[in-house]
Structures are given as C-alpha cells and as structure tokens.
Amino acid sequence: MGSFLMSRLHTVNHPDRVGKIFWHYTVNCSKIEQTVYLQEDFMLRQASRTARLRKIEQILLLAPEGMRAADLAEKMAVTKRTIYRDVDFLCGQGLPIWQKDGRFGLIRDGYLTPVHLAFHEAIALMLAGLLLSRTIDEHNPHVVAALQKLATVLPRPFVPHLQRAANRIQEQQRDQSQVDVLEALAEGWAAGRKVRLGYRSPRSGKLRQRTFAPYALEPTPSGIYAIGHDDWADDIRTFKLDRLESAAVLPEEIHL
C-alpha cells in the first residue's frame, strides 16, 4: 500500500513519465504476487501429497491382507482415482506393492520403510540401545551399526555415549554362530516361518535338532531369549540364545 501511494504522488508531479513507470510497476507487482501465491499453493499441495503417500505406505504396512482402493480413499478423504495415482507413483518409486482381487498390499519380505524420528523419539531409541549394549555379552555388528547410525543424527553431546556403547560391544568376543542364530530367529519371526534350532541341553550336554515357531525375542539382563512353540515338546518353550548353536529358517509357515 505504501508503494502504491508513493507512486500516485509521483504521478501527479510527473504525469507523463512517472505515470508509465507507475503502471509498469503495478503490473510487475501483480505478477510477482501471483507467482508467489502459485509457488506457495504448489508447495502446500506437494507437502499434502507427501504426507498422504507416507500415510498410505503406513496403512499398507499394517494391513497384511491388503486394502481396497475404496477403503484407502475413505481413510485418506480423497477419491479412488487419487488413490490409484498415488499407488502408481509409489510403485514407480520402488515400493514393492502387490495387487490382487481389487486389493493393494506391501510385499513384506526384506522390506523396511524409512523411519522419520522426532528428537525425543530418537532419544528413546538411544536409551534402548544403551540398555541393550549392557545386556548382550557378545560382539554383534548389527547393534554396533545401529548405535553408530543414531550417533550420526543426534546432537553432539549424545555422540560420546553412543560411541562408548558401540565400542563396548565391539570389545566383546565375537561369536559368529550367535549372530547367525539371532538373524535366523528374527527372520523367521518376521516372515512367519519356523526355524530349525540346534539346541544343546544344559543337563545332558547333548545337541538336539528342534523345529521352533518363534513368537518373540526378549532381551533380559542375563541375555536374549527366544519364545515360541517347540514341535518336539508340542508346547510353548523359551530358549536362551547362548544355548543355541545353530539356526536356519524353514519354508514351513507358522499357523497360530
């Protein structure tokens, strides 16, 4: 408004010359304002779509049986056509989406979605990682890598704590068989498949092969335990990981 009044004043004093400058100036301002509004509108729409795409991914991750386009559209408050376009875009970005009988779902094998953490969420993970570093008594490269990755995103005061925890694990004796056992149990649990365990009895000292359906992995101050159904005992059993000498994921699915 100040620029407009100033231009009008100059127009009175210099009607020929400054009048032309005034009109040129106002037209340019109009274009600039229009461009700014268009840019802001575009950025808002892009932000809205990005949030919607992330939400669709989260919904599909939590729906093993998949979701119909109509249900997704209702949840996202958009049209089915928009959902089809969004799913198309996610597929183009490499998201492993399956489609069957009008339903969309995510192929979960080996897929992990990127996690965006708020500051305090990252701190919660840091504290859990520090606790885990005091629980395990073998060198585990996955725990070390996770702690080091957290150290790269947290503010500098937190880095020494994470680095000390990572070093503490690295200094432990490395037992690759224990890493392999934990990996197989985690993969079987994630995929819903049974695992063949090589279990050494603490009483007899004999090594037995057990077919095991992992239901959970639980860290405790004395070590990590696998909880699940043992086919040999036909009952729920708990195995301490350091008593397991081998583990291999089987093709047999777990049926609860």
Return the higher-pLDDT residue of 112 and 43: 112
pLDDT at residue 223, rounded to an integer: 83
Lowest mean pLDDT among 31-45, 82-96, 148-162, 204-218: 31-45
Q: What is the pLDDT, as a whole number, of residue 191?
A: 85
Q: What is the pLDDT of residue 230?
A: 96
Tens of pLDDT, residues 156-205: 999 999 999 999 898 888 888 889 999 999 999 988 999 999 998 888 88
Dist. CA 9–CA 110, nearest whole Å: 70
* pLDDT on residue 232: 92
Cβ atoms 90, 60 nearer than 8 A: no
pLDDT surpassing 70 at residue 21: no
Q: Does the pLDDT of residue 77 top 60, yes or no?
A: yes
Over residues 77-102, mean pLDDT:
89
Token pair, residue 147, equals: 């702690």
* Residue 213, Cβ density class (10 Å: 0-12 exposed, 13-18 middle, ≥19 buried): buried
pLDDT value for 107: 84
Order across the sheet with 97-100: list the strands: 67-68, 103-106, 97-100
What mean pLDDT is predicted for residues 77-105? 89
What is the model's pLDDT at position 256? 78
| Segment 216-234 mean pLDDT | 92
pLDDT at 20: 41
Whether 6 shows a pLDDT value over 60: the answer reads no
Q: What is the Cα gyration radius of the chain?
A: 30
For the chain, the average pLDDT equals 81
State the CB neighbour count (10 A cutoff) for residue 214.
Answer: 26
Name 214's Cβ contacts closer than 8 Å, sequence gap at least 6. 185, 188, 189, 195, 226, 227, 228, 254
* Nearest CA-CA partner of 226 in 234, 216, 235: 216
